[in-house]
Amino acid sequence: MPTPYIHGSARPVFKTEKWSFDPSRGLSITREYESGGNNLNGFANELMTDGIAFDMTRSNVRSTITTKTGGASGGVEEIAPDNWQLLGNEIQNSLIDHPDLHVALPYPILWTKIPAFSTSETGEEDLVRWMNDYQVGNPLANLFPAAGTDPNNYPAIYNEALIWFRLYCSGKTAYALGQYVLRHTVTVPGNPYSLRQASAISAFVSSGIERVYTTSQLLSECDATTVTYAIPVTVRSAILSIPVPAFYSGYLWGWRKLPVTMTSAAYNKVDISSEYCLFHWNVSRMYATA
């Protein structure tokens, strides 16, 4: 095939620009360039060096490149959209923390003895003996009576303790537990972004990490001025409908905020995600409140 004679520029010539916006992903800009002949290799190398996504069609007659960028990379200031997910999670929790155990055996000092005696061959006898010995000088003795010597006549508290003890010794040291997790993801330009976005992202990243929020505090943060799109009404309603379990002294039924995760995304953007995990958190010793 003879080499075609090119009229016009062999350099990239800008043709069209298309804007697309999605409230969950933000703004993206598509630009089309063309040149006469097969002369866009240099431009393609520049785009790859700059990390800009593109599609190229080459021929000896006419070549085209279509670039795909976020708004900031395209020279347009854009917002930082938010994405909200309420996820169902499953965790393994210690049997000693089971709420039914706490109700049946309302003596925290007794909870620690179940794993302590589980390694002994005479663990059941040791547990009963300890419970008997614990009566001496104990102001709760009227609620925690002596066992006596006949296992068939043990008071209910002893039988309940042995049921949980045998469960623990049989290998059931943990139980599966459903847990809700709220994930908030904000999508920002990788570089550059405005001072307004920088301030919002800084607050989002550093605020409240490893603290436990009440549900009202959580929803208040989700409606903060640093959020572009507040949490949807449907997700908010689902959160408010989650049953609240019985109160335990020193514990808070709330949402612990985890450290953020940053992931590079399409169109030179970065997804910044933060998760809030709902659980009965020990706020008397282990976790701080928001």
Share of the chain above pLDDT 90, in %: 27
Q: Of 20-34, 109-123, 272-286, where does mean pLDDT reach its minimum? A: 20-34
Mean pLDDT of 214-236: 83
Q: Of 77-86, 236-245, 257-266, where does mean pLDDT reach its minimum? A: 77-86
- The vertex-86 CA angle with 274 and 220, nearest 5°, equals 65
Detail the DSSP E strand segments found in 24-146.
26-36, 53-57, 62-70, 82-94
- Answer with the residue of higher pLDDT: 157 or 283: 283
As a whole number of angstroms, the distance between CA 282 and CA 87 comes to: 22
The answer to whether the beta carbons of residues 266 and 189 sit under 8 Å apart is: no
CA distances, 183 to each of 112, 162, 169, 206, 255 (Å): 34, 41, 37, 16, 11
Domain ranges of the chain: 13-70, 82-92+175-289, 93-174
Q: State the DSSP H helix or E strand holding residue 126, giving kind and residue range, or none if neither.
A: helix 123-133
Instruction: Indicate whether 23 pLDDT > 60.
Output: yes
Neighbours of 278 (CB within 10 A): 22
Radius of gyration of the chain (CA): 31
pLDDT value for 164: 92
As a whole number of angstroms, the distance between CA 178 and CA 89 comes to: 6
Q: How many residues make up the chain in this entry? A: 290
* Single pTM value for the model: 0.69
Q: What is the per-residue pLDDT across 119-129, written as a single tens digit (0 to 9) for each?
A: 898 998 888 88
Residue 118's pLDDT band, with cuts at 50, 70 and 90, is very high
As a whole number of angstroms, the distance between CA 19 and CA 37 comes to: 28
Share of the chain above pLDDT 70, in %: 78
Partners of 180 in beta bridges = 88
